[in-house]
Amino acid sequence: MPDRPCLPGHAWRCCDRTLDIADRPVVMGVLNVTPDSFSDGNRYTRPDVAIEHGRRMWEEGAAIIDVGGESTRPGAEPVDAEEERRRVLPVIEGLQSCIHASDARPAGLISIDTCKASVAEAALAAGAHIVNDVSALTGDDRMAQVVRAAGAGAVLMHMRGEPRTMQDDPRYDDVVRDVVSYLDARVSAAQNVGIARECLAIDPGIGFGKTTDHNLQLLQGLSAFIAIGLPVVVGLSRKRFLGKITGRETGARPAAGVAANVYSAWQGASVLRVHDVAETMDAIKMTVALCAEAS
Residues 30, 139: Cα–Cα separation, whole Å: 21
Within 13 Å, how many C-alpha atoms sit on residue 174's CB side?
6
Distance CA 226, CA 202 (A): 9
| Contacts (Cβ under 8 Å, ≥6 apart) of 16 | 129, 151
Of 87, 210, 239, 240, the catalytic one is 239
Is 116 in the active site? no
**Is 273 an active-site residue?**
yes
Cβ contacts of residue 107 below 8 Å, gap of 6+? 99, 100, 101
Q: Which of 4, 85, 186, 273 is catalytic?
A: 273
Inter-residue contact 155 to 130 (CB < 8 Å): yes
Residues 174 and 180: their CA atoms lie apart, in Å, by 10
User: Looking at the annotation, which residues are catalytic?
Assistant: 239, 273
